[in-house]
Amino acid sequence: MPEHKIIDARGSFCPGPLMELIGWIKLANVGDELEVLSTDKGSASDIPEWVKKVGHEFLGSREEAGVWHIAVRKTK
């Protein structure tokens, strides 16, 4: 069964949240969902860009009280 992993990268600046996501993606199984919590606005646009480039699935992002929630599914 796919897992949903929360990656708390709040307080870290670019490219910290992206690097944390990549580290966890390497450990995840295909189909798992990973949700990055980030207070870095740049990462909210950079992470979807990276996901698109390398071919995982971007599930969406939303901002709540200054925290971006960026969701990704590992596809390969």
Interface contacts to other proteins, rule CB under 8 A: 11-16, 18-19, 22-23, 26, 50, 53-54
Residue 65 beta carbon to other proteins: minimum distance, rounded to whole angstroms:
19
- Indicate if 14 belongs to the active site: yes
Residue with tokens 């490219």, as numbered in its chain: 15
- Closest CB to other proteins among residues 12, 37: 12
Tell me which of 5, 10, 14, 39 is the catalytic residue. Answer: 14
Q: How far is CA 54 from CA 41, 58, 64, in A?
A: 21, 11, 27
Residue 1 beta carbon to other proteins: minimum distance, rounded to whole angstroms:
27
- Closest CB to other proteins among residues 1, 55: 55
The residues that are catalytic are 14
